[in-house]
Amino acid sequence: MSHIFVSYSRKNLTFVTQLVTDLQQADLPVWFDQISIQPGENWEAAIEKGLKEAIAVAVVVSPDSMASEYVRKEINFAQESDQLILPVLYRPAQLFLNLQTIQWVDLSSEAVYAANLQKLIAVLRREPGLLENDAVPTGEAVEVDDTRKLSPTILSNYLHIGAMIAGQTKSQQLWRRLAGSIGTASQMNVGGQALALSRLTPPTLSRLVSLLGATPSIQILHLICRTENDMCFVEDDQGRETPLQIDELARILQNSSVKLLVVQGQLSVAGIQKLMQQSLVQAVITTTTAASDVMSKLFEEHFYAALAAGKAVQVAYQTALNTLGPDDKDHFKLTAKHDGVMLDYPPIEKRPIQPIIDPGLPPMRNVPINPDFVGQGQPLLELSEKLSSDDTRQVMIYGLGGMGKSWLASEFVARYGWRFSDGIVWIQVSEQTRAEDIFNQLRLLLGLPLNSALTHLENTLRQRRVLIVLDQANEWGNSTELTELAQFVSRLEPLGGTRVMLTAWGPTVGLAEISGSRELTLAEMLPVEAEELVRQLIIDYDVAGEFKSELVMRQLIEKTAYTPWFIKEGVRLTRLEGLEVALEDLDALSADTMLLFERYVGMQHQKLAEPTQVFLRQLQGLPDSFDRRLVQAIDSQSREHLRQLIQHQLLRREDKLYTIPPTVRVYLRQRYPLSEAEQDTIDQQVIQYWLGGAK
């Protein structure tokens, strides 16, 4: 039976027992060692079995659990097994790094327990396979895009926060943290003042000036940036850091309605006082760089929740501090102009119910989120410049497998997507992709009827700024469709601002010859960038202990041929098997970069058990991504196979979709093609599943 596994420290047994009882009362199947292990059963084997069969793992976060080796192992297993991991906050603690990117549920105080427990239950109910009758997906992301234009009047009914995140390597992650905090803060105050959060993109000085000047509803400015000597570093249009002196910030704030400034960074007392003298700002909160993500999130949630409840800034600050451990309080400092600083609230009858989160980006269709882009700064700049040129129709990013083409493309979208104000369409190309699929996505993006003529779409695009991303264009199997698309692209007017960006191993016949095409070839990383990537990965995978000298780090980089994917894989293997084994594994591969990936796939394939190899072969029948339930129709043991394939990097998972990497597909096609009879059998199983007869 599939269930939720509870990973926790025995020291928190009282809390955990309560949690388990509450989950069970919501009819959720829970595996809890205290009740699920039968007398006389081998404890460790029972836990292993319980963990293996779990659909989701709820990790009870506390300083005790975060110090527990058992909990660490359970989380690692869940991660490798592709299980849903849900951190449940009991007591604030420094999270394991592989937990830090995951949205948690805060059950740390009585005030939030009941409301957030319902959220946890809702998330778990959505997980396929947990309940017999899978619930309808709910989820109500209150995100807007700029075509939906928020009326200033509507915003004036909110407690409106403007957020700017500049010069940060993980800006998307930081944004998601803040957006998540605002969502949680709103839920903590049902019936209170609703919050609105607008991200200022691009994070440039001119954007700060124009948005604050034009948006009188923004009373709170939340800045996440590097600070030094009373300077906040924002960005220029190309994404390079540029200093914003405190005098300049004061001048900008003078022409705004901002009353409260929250800076994730440090400013001097004199600087803060200058700000408060020269603007309407009445309170400033600063945060030390040592404040962890966990602390910041906890602080933000409770601080903004208290403000939404109508509390004075000082009271909200104190409320938020009370949720932190005694040693953590010093990281957050409040300076106020006077006692009882209050923000302005609209009349009760005008207050809306739901929060609004505006990511400051144009509408996006199917764009993947890239959480951990590091290095490749130069190619990113080059890509940005090539796409900006007036005579460019498309930019083709070429490179061997693992060079980070899609990674670069998605980072470009996250950082420079604002340039394409009418939106971004991301097409994951498969051999079955049709040109019409792309045209329809564009029609809907631009609000055109689906049956409108192609010429109408082309004419509209000439006046709009849209980015069309064709990821893995080499996958395209149908030349007629490719020709149709190529003709369409060649008719785009570069001056209109619409661009195509494609990623491929090499030139895609038909598309590559179009005039106005530019190329960007990704080769191996520069040593300095590779080192930057490894350093970040060492933190992410928490393997600092293995990399005791610079020399070891360089050794790993050399064995990965400066290829981003292999660098990541090397550090991942270090986490799993230790550095020595990881280096041996990498050693076994050819020094020939051209064959690196192919050999790697072969090596991983050999490590699979035979039934899993057969299963992988069968997956060739599906040219595009698939979910867990579809492949259950092909093989009842698919769950275990999927786990193995992900562990060996022969399958990728994004959200609920599994994808065979192109290199793996090529490897299988060349060495283990399916016969027609085998293919027919798979097709029949799949059709039966689609028609509702899945096992």
Partner 1 sequence: MGITINPSHPTALTREQQATLNNMRAVLGRQLRPTSKTDPAMVAELIIQNAVLMRENGLATELLDYLQRAREKLDAEKPLHTRLSVEIAVTLDVIDGRQDEASELFQNVLTWYQTHPNALDEARARSAYGRFLINRSQLQVALTQFQQALDLLKDQPFEAAIVRGEMGRVLVGQGKFGEAVPQFEKAYTVLRGDDRQVRLMNDFAAALVEVGESDRAEKLLIEGIEIATQQGLWLLRANLRRQIAYIYHLRAEKSSDAASAQPYLDEAVRLLNQAVAEMLPLQNTLDLAVVYHDLGRIEAQQRHFNEAEAHLRLSIELFQRLGNLRNEAVAEITLGTLVVLKNGDIAAGNEHLHRALQLANKVGDQFTLHQAAETLSRLHQLQVTRAKAQSQEIRRQVIDQLSFSRARLSEYSLSEAALALEHMITELEAARG
Interface contacts to partner 1, rule CB under 8 A: 136-144, 147-154, 157, 194, 349-350, 352-354, 356, 365-366, 428, 430-434, 436-437, 439-441, 443-448, 450-451, 621-627, 630, 656-657, 679-680, 683-684, 686-688, 690-691
CB atoms within 10 A of CB 260: 23
User: Which is closer to partner 1, CB of 150 or CB of 312?
Assistant: 150
Read off the amino acid at residue 135.
Answer: A
In whole angstroms, how close is the CB of 446 to partner 1 at the nearest point?
Answer: 8
User: Which is closer to partner 1, CB of 450 or CB of 495?
Assistant: 450
Give CA–CA dist 265/275, Å, rounded. 15
CB atoms within 10 A of CB 251: 13
3-state secondary structure 414-430: HHHHHHCCCEEEEEECC
In whole angstroms, how close is the CB of 315 to partner 1 at the nearest point?
Answer: 27
In whole angstroms, how close is the CB of 20 to partner 1 at the nearest point?
Answer: 26
In whole angstroms, how close is the CB of 480 to partner 1 at the nearest point?
Answer: 12
In whole angstroms, how close is the CB of 459 to partner 1 at the nearest point?
Answer: 11
Backbone phi, psi, residue 585, to 5°: -60, -45
Residue 496's alpha-carbon distances to 257, 436, 500, in angstroms, are 36, 22, 12
CB atoms within 10 A of CB 550: 9
In whole angstroms, how close is the CB of 624 to partner 1 at the nearest point?
Answer: 4
User: Which is closer to partner 1, CB of 188 or CB of 438?
Assistant: 438
In whole angstroms, how close is the CB of 92 to partner 1 at the nearest point?
Answer: 31
Q: Please give the structure tokens belonging to residue 311.
A: 């509390």
In whole angstroms, how close is the CB of 81 to partner 1 at the nearest point?
Answer: 22
Q: How far apart are the first and last CA of the chain?
A: 15
User: Which is closer to partner 1, CB of 431 or CB of 580?
Assistant: 431
User: Which is closer to partner 1, CB of 218 or CB of 374?
Assistant: 218
User: Which is closer to partner 1, CB of 385 or CB of 624?
Assistant: 624
Closest CA to 8 of 85, 73, 60, 76: 60
Half-sphere exposure of 534 toward its Cβ, with a 13 Å CA cutoff?
31
With DSSP H G I counted as helix, E B as strand and the rest as coil, what are the percentages for the chain, rounded to 5?
50, 15, 35
In whole angstroms, how close is the CB of 32 to partner 1 at the nearest point?
Answer: 29
Helix ranges restricted to H, 196-268: 205-214, 246-254
Give CA–CA dist 443/451, Å, rounded. 9
Paired with 268 in beta bridges are none
Give CA–CA dist 328/292, Å, rounded. 9
User: Which is closer to partner 1, CB of 532 or CB of 624?
Assistant: 624
Angle between helices 377-388 and 405-416 (to 10 degrees): 60
User: Which is closer to partner 1, CB of 353 or CB of 495?
Assistant: 353
User: Which is closer to partner 1, CB of 38 or CB of 153?
Assistant: 153
